[in-house]
Structures are given as C-alpha cells and as structure tokens.
Structure 1
Amino acid sequence: MRNTAKATTLEKKFPLLAVEENCILSKDADITACFAVSLPELFTVGSAEYEAIHAAWHKAVKTLPDYTVVHKQDWYIKETYAPDLTEEGLSFLGKSYKQHFNERPFLNHYCYLFLTKTTKERMRMQSNFSSLCRGKLIPKEARDKEAVHQFMEAVAQFERIVNDSGLVKMTRLTEEDIVGTDEKQGLLEQYLTLSTQADEPLQDIALGSEEVRIGNKRLCLHTLSDTDDLPGTVSADTRYEKLSTDRSDCRLSFAAPVGLLLSCNHMYNQYLFLDNSDSNLQKFEKSAKNMHSLARYSRSNQINKEWIERYLNEAHSFGLSSIRAHFNVIAWSDDPAELKQLKNDTGSALALMECKPRHNTTDVATLYWAGIPGNAGDFPSEESFYTFIEPALCFFSGETNYRDSPSPFGLKMADRLTGNPIHLDISDLPMKRGVITNRNKFILGPSGSGKSFFTNHMVRQYYEQGAHVLLVDTGNSYQGLCELIHGKTKGEDGVYFTYTESNPIAFNPFYTDDGVFDIEKRESVKTLVLTLWKRDDEPPTRAEEVALSNAVSGYIDQIKQQSANPSFNGFYDYVKGDYKKVLEEKKVREKDFDLANFLNVLEPYYKGGEYDYLLNSDKQLDLLNKRFIVFEIDAIKDHKILFPIVTIIIMEVFINKMRRLKGQRKLILIEEAWKAIAKEGMADYIKYLFKTVRKFFGEAIVVTQEVDDIIQSPIVKESIINNSDCKILLDQRKYMNKFDDIQAMLGLTDKEKAQVLSINMNNDPSRLYKEVWIGLGGVQSAVYATEVSLEEYLAYTTEESEKMEVMELASQLGGNVELAIRRIAAKRREE
C-alpha cells in the first residue's frame, strides 16, 4: 500500500553528512569550522572598545575567501539559578543567601560562530531549492582539495585576528562539542530541540506554512532581509539612555536591543555572504545602465539608478567589498498566548534599532533549517540584501551577560540586569593575571549608599573562606555580624571591642603571647611612645630618636632577663630609674634629650594618671589567632589623645598578624579611623602598611564617605589611593557637581566615570538591592548589585530600630543571635 503520510524522517532530510577533524561536512560538500565566542560583559565596554571589536571583525572577515558564509548565532535562553544547598561547611548566612536566589530566573547567553565554505551555485540558491524541498539528499564529493586547504588557513587567520583584539575570544569546538556524548548534549542536538538541557529528548519537528513547531515550542520569526527595513545610519555602538546622564554616556552595541535586553527565549542569527565582490559590482554596473535606459519610463527606475550608482561610487572610492547580509530573530514559547507577546516584544526591540519590524511567516521553515550549524549554504538567497562588510558588522551583537570568575576564592555579587548571583574574584585572580599589583582597596560612598551592606557582605565571605579579618569601625556597622560569629564559635571568635566610660578600651603595647619582640614590634612601640610624646608639628631630633630607641630596647631586654610582666607602667619606671642612670653614665646633655620633659609628658598614661588604664591592661588577649575582630571606636573618634593611640595599637595588632601568620589571608578594614593615622606624623606608618601588606598575603581596605577628605588630603592620595589597585565606589549622584575632581583624584577614565554615574539609575523595583562599582587597576571595571537574603539583611543592618529588635530578642534567647534572626525573618515572611 502506498504511504500517504506527510511526515518524513529527520535522517532522510538531515543536510549534514559527518563531523571530521572538528569540521562539519554537509551532504552538498560544504565545510564548516565551528567556534564558541566569548564577548565582553554587558555595560563594561566603552565606545573605543566597540570600535576596536568592530575593526577586529572587519579585518578577520576580509581574510576569508569568496563564497564563504559567516554565520554568528547568539542564543538567549531563560534559565534558573540552581545552587548546591547540600554543600558541606555552609554557614547560616551562606545557606540563606543561596536559598534567597534559588530558582531565580535569568537570561543566559551562548554565542557561536560558523564559517562555511560553499560554492557559487549554492550561494545563489533560493528557498525552493532548499534541502527541505528535495526528496532525497545524495552526498556530493568535495573535489577541490586545494580550496579546502586555503579555507582552513583563512579560518586560522580569522581566529588569530579576533583573539588578538583582546576583547573577543574564539575557541574551536571539538567533535564532542558538536555531536555530543552520552553525558553531554551536542550543539546540533541543542539546535534541534531549542534547549541547552542535557536530558531534553528529540521531539517532532513541524515545518509547515502556518507555523513551525519544535515539540511544543512554537516559533516566531522577524527578519531584516531588505534595505527598506534598515535604519538610515548604523554604528558600532549606541547610547543606552536608561543608564546615561547629561554628563556621561552608557554604551551598548547597536544590536543590544535584540540581545540581552530582549528578555525571552530567542536566537539572533547574523549572516554575511561573501560573494565575489568584482562580479557583484559588474552586475550592478549592468543594472545601472539598464535603469538609465528605462529612466524616462518610470521615476522609480531613475531613483534606483541613483542608489545603485551611489553604491558603486562607495565601493570604488573606498575599495569596499560587496557582500550580502541577513539578520533574523527567532523567538519561541510553548504557550500560544505568550507567543503573541513575544511577537510584540521582538518587534519593539527591532524598532529600538530604528529598523522596520517584519514578521516573516513565509520562510520560517527554510530560515530555521538554514540556521542548523553547518547548513548556512542552504540559506535562501532572496532573503539577503547587498551591503558592505563594515555596516553589516554593526548588526553583530557585542556583549554577553556577567560571567563567574574561574577562581575558588571570591565574593558573591549579583548581575545588575537579571539579579543572577555572580562569583567574583577581586583579589587573587587579578593579581595572578597582572591586572593589579596589590590587593588593597579604597571604598568611597556617601551615607545611605549601601556602603556598610557591601563591606559587611564582603568581610563575611572573606571570613568564611578562612581569612583573618580585623575591622576598625566608627558606627557599630559590624556589631550584628560579629555577635553572630561570636555565638556560632561559642566565644572562640568574633571579638568586639568598644569604648565606654565604665569599660574603656585598654591594651598592653609591650605584651606578646610568645615573648618574641621582632623588629616590627619594637618599631610599633617606638611609634606609639613618640606619638604620646610629640605633637604632629613637632618632629623629634635625631638625638631624641636614638634616646627613645635605646629606652625601648633597654626595657625589652630587662623584660627578657627578669621575666617580669611587661606594661607601660614598667616602661615608665625603667626610664625613670635604670635608663636615667644610663643617660648619666653616657653624659647625655639635657638639650639633646630632656628626660624630665619626657617623663612629664608621659605621666598621664602612668599609674594614677588620667589615662593610666589605656596602656596597662591586665587582660592578656591572644588576638593573633582570633579570626574576626572588631574595634568600635566611635565614642573616641574626635578625642585628640585617645583616638590616635588606640588606632596605632590596633594597627600593631594587625602588623603582628601580618608578620606571624604565614600563608594565611589577612584583611584590615579601616573606616573613618584613617583620618587619625593620615596626619603628617603618621603618614609613614600608613604608607608602610599599604606598601608592605601585599607581601604577606594581606590587604588593607579604607572606607570613607567624605569626598572632601580625599580631594584635599595629599597624604590620602600618596599613601592610600596610589597603593590601592582596587577602587570601589557606591552611588555618587550626591557628588555629581564634584565628580570631575573625584575622577581626576582616582584616575578614572571616561568609561569608568560613565559606569559610576549609572549606579542605581535603572534598578528593578521588584528587587531590594544597591549597586556598587568595582574597578581593578584601570583595566577591568563593572557595576554589580549587592543583593542579600532577609537573614543577611538583619545581620548587616545599621538601622537602630532593627538592630535593637535583633539584639533584644537574642538576649531573651540566651544571646543566640542566629536564632533571633531566624525568627524575625520567618515572621516578616509571614507578614
């Protein structure tokens, strides 16, 4: 009985023959080299870089031989974030962060490039000659082996030129990538299922005149296949108004509206057909003559003749290559109602490019079929238009979504467009790649910009990855996090020092837990005593420096010999007694070292003095092995005597960690306290810290909100900014009129300025987050979102009412901050 079914098998119609030497061979003897393409991240590229990318593509395309098809295929697939919630050692806040983002939808981007060598005859085929219309495909033989060899050489040159740009990276796909394995889906299978999921089975493909359907997915196709549909002018990039200001430009590629900005499942196909340019131009010359002959019969003939002549003039004047091009957007959905919305969204995206949206219902099947990787030779020629290489390349998509850093260490930030979590390394990987030469960071953000949230989020993740964290705070910003760590470690960690009248901060600068007084310890003690003794505008003489150094060394030797408990009182007694005798024996004159004056100035810190508690603590704390320490010194930040002394002692604690903890990551974060140590007398101290910390696997971070401080202080510029390769800025719109000064001080480029001024300009109202700009060594920069879970918010919050709510409930629960946060978070979710 005769088979009357309209269905046929995929095997019978499939246009590809084999994959050999990582190239796809079609049954019509076309050969295709396949690449995965890595583009720059969204909102990180300026106008100059877009021009450079455009120029690289142009140079590369010009190396290809005639009758080659360049097919760039960008996939934009809706996926959901799937964290590993069973990960061992995950902290309470770490787990809550992952749960907060669990199943968060985002648009993932995959970019491929196919270079197909075909023939003159195939390049001119129309849709009625598509392999879909033929009953049986008989494989042809590739006769011209020399042409194949030349094509592969051109492909290698193409790859090298694009990769040398440093902005776009092409990676050759292997046979496994194209065909797939038992465990991994191949590129061809992905295309025939319109899915990147590994377990997606092949389903029926309906290629009809009314609709094209892949399984349950119905296709919607918009094409740019006629010059009448194109805008009057094109460019490599365009201004993105939503993130631009009157002082700055945010740039995106010309085709960005049909790329990541079109938030649905879709595919953007870009085709360049490299015919023989000379024969094309000869054909146009002939056509122009015909139009001239017929001009008297029709005005349209006269206009067409003028357009053709302009095209020819451009080609001959500038030596441009005549090519054909085509661009299409294929969107799909398994919901017929959503398909109508997709049609409108895609049309709107093309309209944003100033193109005329043309919803194509005629050639959907043949264009989908020609889009199969390696089957570009099957493209219907009537769907293309004549142009030159340069304007055609303006339609290439130029950016991808944010990518994870390939590093085990890093921070969890969020993509500013979709909110997808990003693993970001701003310390180790940039150092390894030579992007930065130190890990130090400078953070600038006005009050209310989300500065404390970002720093809490950062130091919490540093701590959980094994770092030693020391924080100098002036506003109780880290109290919640510190109390949480203190409770979790049962008091072993999370040490919180704060100054109160009843319990003031007290130290013992002469104490070491193992009795070792290395050079840094001695220098730290000398700097401290010098600060107590001399004013900022009163530098010591050389004789005074030597006398002070001898006094400190003598007392340390006495400690070692007598095994006495060291303290500032002991040092004062030593100077008053034994050291006085030493000075008399040496016959040191009073004008060289005034001992009486020295003792008189230091007397307030001696027993019975006003500040006798400050340097004579009997609590011998072992801070060397505490991994999370907070010094809250808000109560004394304006105290001329206590503030600088306490700050120096804190710095000494960190330098002790820095020197003694070999191979362990160390971090010191100083809020407004840097003002005290950035005075003339302490400039060398902070310079030493910022220059030396990098050698000991450490980083120094300074946080400020007063923009005038950084503009007016030369010490900040020399000591802090010049030695901080990572700069982090939050919302700067309060400083819009001063930003030129900030830009000059921080050495920001115009692109970086535009990124900074775009912060929080287009935030998603359905998500609660603040944006932050991170720049690395003037080489890499991007804006990220600091979005946290409700539990993290309650741990980080600086709102007094919310902090009190957490702390009061924790005190009722026996000091259990974690349980308090859990209960408040659960209550708020219910409400």
Structure 2
Amino acid sequence: MRNTLKATTLESKFPLLSVEHDCIVSKDADVTVGFRVELPELYTVTSAEYEAVHSAWVKAMKVLPDYSIVHKQDIFIREEYQPQIDGEMSFLSRSFERHFNERPYLNHYCYLFLTKTTKERSRTQSNFSTLCRGFIIPKEIKDTETVTKFIEAVGQFASIMNESGFVKLHRLTSDEIVGTDSEAGIIEKYFSLSQSDTTCLQDIALAADEMKIGDNYICLHTLSDAEDMPSRAATDMRYEKLSTDRSDCRLSFAAPVGLLLSCNHIYNQFVFIDDSAANLQKFEKAAKNMHSLSKYSRSNQINKEWIDQYLNEAHSYGLTSVRCHCNVMAWSDDREELKHIKNDVGSQLSQMECKPRHNTVDTPTLFWAGIPGNEADFPSEESFYTFIEQAVCFFTQETNYQSSPSPFGIKMVDRLTGKPLHIDISDLPMKRGITTNRNKFVLGPSGSGKSFFMNHLVRQYYEQGTHVVLVDTGNSYQGLCEMIHKKTKGDDGVYFTYTEENPISFNPFFTDDYHFDVEKKDSIKTLLLTLWKSEEDKISKTESGELGSAVTAYINRIKDDRSIVPNFNSFYEFMRDDYRTELENRDIKVSKADFNIDNFLTTLRQYYSGGRFDFLLNSDKNIDLLSKRFIVFEIDAIKENKELFPVVTIIIMEAFINKMRRLKGIRKQLIVEEAWKALSSPSMAEYLKYMYKTVRKYFGEAIVVTQEVDDIISSPVVKEAIINNSDCKILLDQRKYMNKFGSIQALLGLTEKERGQILSINQANNPSRLYKEVWIGLGGTHSAVYATEVSAEEYLTYTTEETEKIEVLNLAEKLGGDIELAIKQLADKKRSKT
C-alpha cells in the first residue's frame, strides 16, 4: 500500500545557512561561535572552587552584548568499554582488559554555543519556529560592525573562562562543526543522538505527544517556569552518599541531571541576555498595573510584591536581568525503559527541589532550538526571568574522570561508572610542575586493599620496563614474583627470604670495577655508624669524620693491593691493625673520648669471622641487582630482631642505591613495606633523607608503605625524611582511624578538600562490583579517588589469603609448574560459580 502520510525533508527545514571563519550562520542571519568545554572532574571540586567557577561564568556573560544567547549543551551517552589488547601484552594485562570488555559507562561531552541575534528574533515563539514555516528565505547580515564586536566579546568571554583555571574552552573549527569525509561534525552527531564518527542520519518523526529519531523515543522535561524553580538556588550541594559527619563531598547544584542521571540524555542550559534596562522598565510597568488591580484580586497583590522584590534585587545589587531555560532530553529504543527513564529524570529534578514537568507539547521545537547554531529559534514562552547569578547555578560544573595523555602510567577504575582509566602519577605531574619528585607514601590499615593496590601498581610498572626492588615483611608479593620467575624461566623474579639454614648475606664493600664514588663511601660509613651506635647514642663530628677517613683509607688499600678480598672481615682487620697504628702515630692525638676505636672493634666483633653474625657482611657472591628487574627481599623472619632487622634493611637500601647509580636512563623503584621502622632511628635520619633526595636525581622513586598510623604520628624522622620528600601520597580506607584522622591530616598537610575525599572512600560502593577505593594526591594541588578493581586472574596472583595461594601453587605443580595455566583454570572456575 502506498504511504500517503505527508513528510518533508530535513533540507527544506534546515535552519543553518553556512559555516564561515569557524562561525555558524543561520538562515535568519544569527551568528554562533562554538566551543568544546573541559570541566573539572567529578568529586574533586570544593564549595569554594564551585563559587570561583560560578563567578567566572557570571563575569564572562557580562561582557557579551545585548541579545546574545549562551547555550551550554551537556551530552551524556551510554557507551561500552572496548579493551585495548595487542599481541605484546602480558597475561595479567590481557586479563584486566578482558574483565572490563563491554563494561557500560556514561560518557560526557560538553559544548558551549554563543549566539548573536536580534531583538525581534529573541521574542520568537514556538508558532514561528523554522519547523512551522513553509519555507525559509535566507537573510543577509547587514550590520557587520555588530558581528565584529560580538566576535571580540566572545574572545574576552573565552579568556575569562580559561584564566579561571577550572574551565577550559577550545574553539570549534569548521571541520569539527560540519565534519569531514572521514569524521562526523557536531551537527550531524546531534541529529543522530550520537557522538561517534560513524553516524548516519535517520528518520525524524515529530508529533505533539511523541518524538522519535530512528528507533529512539524521546522524552523531555523542562524547567521553564519560575514557579517550578527551587526556593533557593546555590552553586553547589552536599552529596550525602559520600559525605560523613566529619566531611563534605560537594557537587554542582545541577549534578543530579548530569553524570548522576545514568541514561542517554542531553542537558541543555540556555541564558538569554536581553536589554536588562528594558526588561526592568517592563517590570516597573507591570508592577503598577498589578497595584492598580490589587483590590480586585489577591493574586495581583501577591504578584506585585514578587515583582517589587525582583526589582529591588536588581537595583540594590546591580544585577543583570536575563531569561533562562533548562531541559533534559532523554531517549531509549524501548518504550518500557523510557517509562523508567521518565521517572528517573523526574526524581533527579526533585533532588534539585525543582518541580519536574514532562513536556509533551514543545518537544520538537525545543529539540530544534538545541541544534548548534539555531539557538535563536528558541520559543520565548518557554523561558523565565531571573538574574545571571541564579541562571548559572543550573549549569553542570563537572565531568567524568579523564585518562592521562601520558604514555606511561597505571590502569585504575572510575569510581562512579567502573570504566578503566589510564593515569600517570610519576612522570606527567613532574613535567607539569605539580610535583618535584616521584616518591610515594602509602597509608592503609589492614583489610583496606593496600596489598592489592601495591601489587597492581608494581606489576604495571614492571611491565613498562621499571627495575623494582621490594622490601617486604608479609609475603604480599610472593605470587606476583613467582609468576614473573616462571614466565622468565628463572631469569627474573628473584625472591630472597631469610631462614636460619640460608640467611641473607651481603658484601657492601664489593664493586666489580673497584669504583667507589663519594655516595658509595658515604653509604658504607653510614652503615658502619648504624652498626656501632645505638639509637640513644649521639654521633659526634669527629667519629663521623674518622670513620669516613678509615673507609677511604681501606678503599685505597684494596685498590693498590688486589690480593685483598674486599669484605667486612678484611676491613675489620684493617681497622684493628693498620688504622689503630696510624692513629697512635699521629702528631695530633685522637682521644678515646673523641673516637674510641676499641669500642668500635668490640661492638662490631660479632660481624667478623667467627662472630654470631659473621655471615651477614661477608658474602662471597654479589647479589646481581643490575640484571634482575624484579627482586623481593622477604625479611618477615627477622622483623622482630632488633640487631639483624635494621642492618639487613639498610644493606638492601645501599644495594639499591648502587643499582640506581649504575643504571642510566632506566626507571628504578624501591618499595619498602613496614621495614621503614628500622630506618626511623635518629642515627639513620640523614641516610634516609639522602636516599630520598638521591632517588629523584637518578630517574627513580622510593615508596614507603605502612599501616601503623601511630608509628607515623610519633616519629618526627618519618615526617622529615619520608613525608616531606614524597609529593605523591596514597591513602586507603581510613574509617578505622576516624578519631585519629585530625593528627594524620596535620602530619600529611592535607587540605579540607583532601580530607573530604579521603573520608568518602568506600562510602557508596556499587554492590554489583568487587573493588576497593584509593585516594591519590599529587603535590597538594591535584587529588582524586579511584577504584582498584581487578580480574579474577589478577586476584589469584595478588591474593595474600594462604588457602588461595596454596591452591594456586598445588595446581601449578600438577600442571608441570605452569602457574599461568593454573591461575587461568582457577579463574574460569571462579567465574563459572559466579
């Protein structure tokens, strides 16, 4: 049967004439300039910062001429994560990407359109929309001077916003507006309700009760009447889900219809800047009429009072009278889902204390007015009078988390949508001047997900070429180290653990080329002082100087006589025989009060041949730290030994510094778990400061990980040596320390904004996903909360649960030592149960 319905073409109704000099020109001679807008990230803005953003918008709007239109268009599209898998990816990286395959999330695109129209066009109503006109005759722009002034004002507008430091405007080019042969432009994308480059135009069905584009049904909610507005509009609101009685999480006033509305939708915000003086005169006249008619109707008297209040505000504070309109345009290809979406939109508007109005009359004309460049076609009866300050309160001021443009980084997860993010917390912050070093300080109580986060970070750094040295006291990295060891067939993934039968041994005096620079000599001297003096003893300048001279003399001796084996035994004998004699024969005697060599030899006798710790400093084989990229020192067995624990830890540090100096242009990473306590004595403070400052110069980073908050608070050495030299601070769930958090905040120098973010961790986690949140702060200026979510394969690799680790190792043994295959089989089994 032949279709007898009347239909028209988009070409005949299309309201735009051309795009010239990156400006959109409508057929009614309106000129529009478009921008792509960068907003601050969600959950990272404070109330004061929202005030600053609001102030910037207000200032910018005031530079625009009369009969300008500001149209902010926020487009939220449900998309699916596409994994980035290539042939060179590791087993765990592929598992991570597959875990998030087709994970749905809400993507945000923000545009700003500034339009110059005329007084006559600003009064256009819906019955004169281009949709209702039989044909459109293009008009000629006669007043070019007005357009020139408008373009200048637009430049000032962009400068004010960009200089605010919170919002960035990027001018849209002609190609971005109309598209190219290979990419769609923003106008084509708008008509397709899409933001992808593979769009194609679809049929548009317009009716009073329903509008349809392709297969998608559209519903529209409008804020177009002052009676529907809340009694009070603010720049921001408290987000209860992530707030506590001790902290605030702030969102913009319009956030409920932004990222918090999890469906496909467009949030349009219009501000119409008319002649403010003329508007106020019109209200003065209306107030007189209402006063004259007040005795006939009480409503006239009330309206007169409202108008007087509006005029008083305008004249008292010098406010600019404008018109405003906001609408939420949502869509779905399923009518049943659309019913739920209508309810959700109404609910979110109610959270803003607005009265939700489901518009079934003006949907087509409002959709048409939302076309980029066609803002002047807006039906004036759908707007209400207010001031710029109040109108801007209805702007959404935040966007979703953005991935870092840096090629180096780690994969974390957006805490709101669960989308993987690529973030750089080492290189890019230094390049931008946010941080001055790559060092990190990690604090998280037991059970907060600290081990999972550190395994996740270390694994990704290792896969990007980093040399990793870990000092652990809890077998947290055994699974990852074992996997690397098996994968590299024993060439990497070295796991040193201390046992009575096979104790860890070192040789701090060994170098393969007999090259001892100043730093190497100083580290040997510091080690010897630590072995000699207790925490309570004060080290004098004479003692430090004499021991430094002894180390230099010994090094000169072994360089001259290569038959001497460089180790602690030969150094001890040199001190006992040669250096003691040299002291006695000096013209200027050194008293025992200044430098007691006998006390030194007696104290260190236990490390000499035949002593109870003679194995410790006399290793006959050098631990090859240079060629191994992943090394774990597990010293849990001696962490309570007050004599061995500090010495072993310090020697590992010295070995790492030697590795750090020798490997040029290669990233190095030292991670010290609870072992940092051994370094917190006053005698080690200078060594610790030196190590932290030196790492930065050699493309390295030191990371200290702890869970004992009391130790941090009570140790001034830790604050001076570690915290002050760690520009990246990482905190996990601190609810266990809620009552102590004031001390932690003061110690770490956290701002109120950072406090609020940290205390929001794990407050509103999605029950359908398994993850823990983590706060990352950079340089005291940039901070955000991310989620650590991993695949089943990564979980089985990182787990510290003994039963799960044994299950993996036993299955790997049955499979001929293939730990990857064992983890894969157990992960598949775990997923099938889920």
Q: Distance in 2 between matches of 1:119 and 1:777?
A: 49
Q: Distance in 2 between matches of 1:493 and 1:242?
A: 46
* Shift in Å, 1:596: 3.4
CA deviation vs aligned residue, 1:43-92 (integer Å, no higher than 9, x gap) = 0000000000000000000110111110000000000111221x242111
* Shift in Å, 1:589: 5.3
Q: Distance in 2 between matches of 1:645 and 1:798?
A: 27
Instruction: Name the SS of the counterpart of 1:267 in structure 2.
Output: strand
* Shift in Å, 1:5: 4.5
CA spacing shift, 1:276–1:542, aligned 2, 3 Å: closer
Q: Distance in 1 between matches of 2:622 and 2:750?
A: 46
Aligned to 1:537: 536
Q: Distance in 1 between matches of 2:270 and 2:479?
A: 56
Aligned to 1:477: 476
Amino acid at match of 2:371: I
Aligned to 2:396: 397
Aligned to 1:643: 645
Residue 768 (structure 1) aligned with residue 770 (structure 2):
yes
Q: Distance in 2 between matches of 1:82 and 1:655?
A: 41
Alignment of 1:475-624 (within 5 A): 475-564=474-563, 565-586=565-586, 591=592, 592-624=594-626
* Shift in Å, 1:815: 3.2
Aligned to 2:751: 749
Aligned to 1:200: 199
| Kept after mapping to 2: 8 A contact 1:240/1:249 | yes
Gaps in structure 2 of 5+ consecutive residues: none
CA deviation vs aligned residue, 1:761-807 (integer Å, no higher than 9, x gap) = 00001111000011111111110001111111111111111112122
Instruction: Name the SS of the counterpart of 2:474 in structure 1.
Output: coil
Aligned to 1:33: 33
Residue 788 (structure 1) aligned with residue 790 (structure 2):
yes
Q: Distance in 2 between matches of 1:264 and 1:421?
A: 19
| Kept after mapping to 2: 8 A contact 1:50/1:236 | yes
Give percent identity, aligned residues only: 69
CA deviation vs aligned residue, 1:646-679 (integer Å, no higher than 9, x gap) = 1111111111122121111111111111111111
CA deviation vs aligned residue, 1:423-480 (integer Å, no higher than 9, x gap) = 1111111111111111111111111101111111111111111111111111011111
CA spacing shift, 1:663–1:17, aligned 2, 3 Å: same
* Shift in Å, 1:562: 2.9
| Kept after mapping to 1: 8 A contact 2:465/2:667 | yes
CA spacing shift, 1:318–1:544, aligned 2, 3 Å: closer
Aligned to 1:822: 824
Instruction: Name the SS of the counterpart of 1:209 in structure 2.
Output: coil
Alignment of 1:284-683 (within 5 A): 284-564=283-563, 565-586=565-586, 591=592, 592-683=594-685
* Shift in Å, 1:811: 3.0
Instruction: Name the SS of the counterpart of 1:422 in structure 2.
Output: strand
* Shift in Å, 1:553: 2.4
Amino acid at match of 1:805: E
Aligned to 1:230: 229
Aligned to 1:64: 64
Aligned to 2:21: 21
Instruction: Name the SS of the counterpart of 1:586 in structure 2.
Output: coil
Q: Distance in 2 between matches of 1:830 and 1:61?
A: 57
Q: Distance in 1 between matches of 2:423 and 2:325?
A: 37
Q: Distance in 1 between matches of 2:729 and 2:81?
A: 29
Amino acid at match of 1:812: K
CA spacing shift, 1:734–1:351, aligned 2, 3 Å: same
* Shift in Å, 1:212: 0.7
CA deviation vs aligned residue, 1:285-304 (integer Å, no higher than 9, x gap) = 11111111111111111111
Instruction: Name the SS of the counterpart of 2:148 in structure 1.
Output: helix
- When structure 1 is superposed on structure 2, of 234-243 and 692-701 the one drifting more is 692-701
Q: Distance in 2 between matches of 1:516 and 1:804?
A: 45
TM-score (structure 1 length as normaliser):
0.98
| Kept after mapping to 2: 8 A contact 1:513/1:622 | no
Instruction: Name the SS of the counterpart of 2:722 in structure 1.
Output: helix
* Shift in Å, 1:554: 2.9
Amino acid at match of 1:228: E
Q: Distance in 1 between matches of 2:329 and 2:537?
A: 75
| Kept after mapping to 2: 8 A contact 1:254/1:394 | yes
| Kept after mapping to 1: 8 A contact 2:56/2:164 | yes
Q: Distance in 1 between matches of 2:296 and 2:583?
A: 117
| Kept after mapping to 2: 8 A contact 1:67/1:123 | yes
* Shift in Å, 1:590: 6.0
- When structure 1 is superposed on structure 2, of 511-520 and 318-327 the one drifting more is 511-520
| Kept after mapping to 2: 8 A contact 1:659/1:696 | yes
Amino acid at match of 1:29: A
Q: Distance in 2 between matches of 1:18 and 1:585?
A: 97
Amino acid at match of 2:38: S
Instruction: Name the SS of the counterpart of 2:127 in structure 1.
Output: helix
Aligned to 2:48: 48
| Kept after mapping to 1: 8 A contact 2:239/2:249 | yes
Q: Distance in 1 between matches of 2:549 and 2:276?
A: 86
Amino acid at match of 1:63: V
Amino acid at match of 2:791: S
2:801 aligns with one of 799, 802, 815: 799
| Kept after mapping to 2: 8 A contact 1:409/1:465 | yes
Aligned to 2:735: 733
| Kept after mapping to 1: 8 A contact 2:625/2:656 | no
Amino acid at match of 2:746: A
Once superposed, which parts of structure 1, at least 4 consecutive aligned residues long, lie more than 6 Å away? Answer: none
Amino acid at match of 1:602: L
Q: Distance in 1 between matches of 2:734 and 2:831?
A: 32
- When structure 1 is superposed on structure 2, of 95-104 and 528-537 the one drifting more is 528-537
2:717 aligns with one of 704, 715, 718: 715
* Shift in Å, 1:200: 2.2
Q: Distance in 2 between matches of 1:545 and 1:117?
A: 77
Gaps in structure 1 of 5+ consecutive residues: none
| Kept after mapping to 1: 8 A contact 2:508/2:655 | no
* Shift in Å, 1:4: 6.6
| Kept after mapping to 2: 8 A contact 1:36/1:112 | yes
Aligned to 1:183: 182
TM-score (structure 2 length as normaliser):
0.98
Amino acid at match of 1:298: S
- When structure 1 is superposed on structure 2, of 553-562 and 718-727 the one drifting more is 553-562
Alignment: residue pair count: 829
Q: Distance in 2 between matches of 1:486 and 1:537?
A: 42
| Kept after mapping to 2: 8 A contact 1:666/1:699 | yes
Q: Distance in 1 between matches of 2:635 and 2:402?
A: 39
Instruction: Name the SS of the counterpart of 1:132 in structure 2.
Output: coil
Q: Distance in 2 between matches of 1:106 and 1:777?
A: 30
Q: Distance in 2 between matches of 1:4 and 1:134?
A: 21
Q: Distance in 1 between matches of 2:552 and 2:813?
A: 47
Residue 152 (structure 1) aligned with residue 151 (structure 2):
yes
| Kept after mapping to 1: 8 A contact 2:539/2:683 | no
Amino acid at match of 2:43: F
Instruction: Name the SS of the counterpart of 1:206 in structure 2.
Output: strand
- When structure 1 is superposed on structure 2, of 5-14 and 239-248 the one drifting more is 5-14
* Shift in Å, 1:599: 2.4
- When structure 1 is superposed on structure 2, of 266-275 and 192-201 the one drifting more is 192-201
Q: Distance in 1 between matches of 2:392 and 2:359?
A: 22
Amino acid at match of 1:661: L
Alignment of 1:671-710 (within 5 A): 671-710=673-712
Alignment of 1:122-141 (within 5 A): 122-141=121-140
| Kept after mapping to 1: 8 A contact 2:273/2:322 | yes
* Shift in Å, 1:536: 2.0
Instruction: Name the SS of the counterpart of 1:110 in structure 2.
Output: strand
| Kept after mapping to 2: 8 A contact 1:624/1:653 | no
* Shift in Å, 1:33: 0.3
- When structure 1 is superposed on structure 2, of 784-793 and 516-525 the one drifting more is 516-525
CA deviation vs aligned residue, 1:193-219 (integer Å, no higher than 9, x gap) = 001122221111111123111111110
| Kept after mapping to 2: 8 A contact 1:244/1:754 | yes
Instruction: Name the SS of the counterpart of 2:552 in structure 1.
Output: helix
